[in-house]
Amino acid sequence: MPLSEYEQKVLDELEQQLASEDPKLADEMAGAKGVGPSRRGRVAAGILVGLVGVAVLLLGMLMGQIWVALIGFAVMFGGTVLALSKPKAAKVGGAPQGRGAAGPKPAKGQHGSISGRLEDRWEHRQEGR
């Protein structure tokens, strides 16, 4: 069901407020809005590889060849890992994007930790008096 104009406006304002207050969380949420095509393909490939692994595992069990069953289990495990893993972050200009990326350092008075941000908020409140 589509949103009304008012609801869409409020949602846009909330998104802008989130992006200004916590850009890292906003980026994570923007990436989690839906399962993208690359994610769907990764899950589909993982399921397919997992099913092939199950087939090889059962074949190894039926033939009485433990090494074939172990290979099937390894393939099945690999398919599961593939289906559950996240795609790697794209590189822009040679710098990795996402977690651990070297970004701009916080300005004076801004801290990356929660306690640091709470201290900053407290200081802003005290200055406002």
Q: What is the pLDDT of residue 95?
A: 47
Delimit the domains of the chain by residue range. 1-33, 36-87
Whether the model pTM is above 0.75: no
Nearest alpha-carbon partner for 22 in 121, 125, 122:
121
Q: What is the pLDDT of residue 48?
A: 94
Q: Are 53 and 72 in contact (CB under 8 A)?
A: yes
Residues 6+ apart with CB under 8 A from 111: 117, 119, 120
Q: What is the pLDDT of residue 56?
A: 94
Phi, psi of 6 (to 5 degrees): -65, -45
Positions of the chain with pLDDT lower than 50, given as ranges = 92-95, 98-101
Q: What is the pLDDT of residue 122?
A: 80
- In the beta sheet, which residues pair with residue 96? 91
Q: Beta strand 91-92 with 95-96: parallel, antiparallel or unpaired? A: antiparallel
